[in-house]
């Protein structure tokens, strides 16, 4: 009986489908493909800050103050994310779903890696708010400290510890429960979706937007495979080039408990 083997297109399609549907932070950050098709393995990210003041002037008077723009530049290196999965022809005869299970595991591991990078970038948010007791009011105060006229697009991300705390808050329980829009969403505060993840550090919550963090893709998932006709071993390599970076935290804030 001949062993059914698959070409790279089969592996690549399966892997790509899993990544596109299972990535947990995919809808919490912006996908950027500007690095594709150009030379270079570095990305310079500039974070801008504007400082200015409005003056009341008499007729004919000139401005005495001038607004200015400052920025900080962070250089990110494009990274290669790769995994290797190996199986033998005998494994396929023993268990017909061995290949699918292996590819699913590879995809899940890749997802976990990207998720970790996303939350690592959220940790770099420069705006901060310290709370004494984490509750509905503290989230409202943190939102107010951002001083945004329009809060559309914002969401709150917290860990399981703060999720349990906020669920017990009477103000939260009496508030309108929002329509489920994001994976992990369990309600909203003042119309702002509340999301939880185990990857958020204890006692920490982030109020942010989708455009705060970007997933720069240099080269999407590429699959290579090879078969050893002597040992009957098969190897699958999945490779992806890119980087995850915090690009704009002017509309984001990090909430932590006062020491």
Would you state the pLDDT for residue 132? Answer: 95
Predicted confidence (pLDDT) at residue 151 exceeds the cutoff of 70: yes
Would you state the pLDDT for residue 109? Answer: 80
Would you state the pLDDT for residue 1? Answer: 37
- Quick one: pLDDT band at residue 173, thresholds 50, 70, 90? low
- Quick one: pLDDT band at residue 185, thresholds 50, 70, 90? confident
Exposed/middle/buried for 145, CB within 10 Å: 0-12, 13-18, 19+? middle
Would you state the pLDDT for residue 172? Answer: 67
What whole-number percentage of the chain has pLDDT above 70? 85
- Quick one: pLDDT band at residue 81, thresholds 50, 70, 90? confident
- Say which residue, 111 or 248, is predicted with more confidence: 248
Would you state the pLDDT for residue 6? Answer: 53
CA-based radius of gyration for the chain: 24
Predicted confidence (pLDDT) at residue 141 exceeds the cutoff of 90: yes
Predicted confidence (pLDDT) at residue 180 exceeds the cutoff of 50: no
pLDDT tens-place string over residues 109-130 = 888 888 889 999 999 999 999 9
As a whole number, the mean pLDDT across the chain is 82
Once rounded to an integer, what is the mean pLDDT over residues 175-179? 52
Predicted confidence (pLDDT) at residue 2 exceeds the cutoff of 50: no
Three-state SS sequence of the chain: CCCCCCCHHHHHHHHHHHHHHHCCCCCCCEEECCCCCCCCCEEEEEEEEEECCCCCCCCCCCCCCCCEEEEEEEEEECEEEEEEEEEEHHHHHHCCCHHHHHHHHHHHHHHHHHHHHHHHHHCCCCCEEEECCCCHHHHHHHHHHHCCCCCCCEEEEECHHHHHHHHHCHHHHCCCCCCCCCCCEEEEECCEEEEECCCCCCCCEEEEEHHHEEEEEEEEEEEEEEECCCCCEEEEEEEEEEEEEECCCCCCEEEEECC
Predicted confidence (pLDDT) at residue 182 exceeds the cutoff of 90: no
């Amino acid at each position: 009986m001949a062993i059914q083997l698959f070409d790279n297109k089969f592996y690549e399609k399966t892997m790509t489908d899993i990544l596109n549907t299972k990535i947990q932070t995919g809808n919490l950050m912006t996908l950027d493909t500007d690095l594709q098709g150009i030379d270079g393995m570095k990305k310079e990210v500039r974070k801008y800050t504007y400082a200015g003041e409005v003056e009341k002037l008499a007729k004919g008077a000139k401005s005495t103050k001038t607004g200015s723009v400052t920025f900080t530049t962070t250089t990110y290196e494009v990274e290669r994310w790769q995994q290797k999965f190996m199986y033998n022809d005998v494994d396929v005869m023993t268990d017909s779903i061995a290949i699918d299970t292996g590819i699913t595991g590879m995809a899940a591991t890749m997802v976990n890696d990207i998720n970790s990078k996303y939350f690592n970038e959220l940790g770099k948010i420069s705006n901060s708010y310290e709370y004494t007791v984490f509750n509905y009011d503290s989230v409202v105060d943190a939102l107010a400290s951002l001083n945004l006229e329009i809060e559309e697009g914002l969401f709150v991300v917290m860990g399981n510890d703060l999720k349990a705390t906020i669920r017990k808050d009477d103000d939260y329980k009496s508030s309108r429960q929002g329509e489920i829009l994001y994976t992990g969403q369990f309600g909203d505060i003042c119309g702002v979706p509340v999301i939880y993840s185990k990857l958020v550090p204890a006692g920490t919550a982030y109020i942010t937007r989708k455009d705060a963090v970007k997933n720069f893709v240099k080269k999407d998932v590429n699959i290579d495979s090879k078969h050893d006709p002597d040992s009957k071993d098969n190897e699958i390599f999945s490779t992806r080039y890119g980087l995850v970076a915090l690009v704009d935290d002017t509309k984001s804030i990090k909430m932590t408990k006062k020491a």
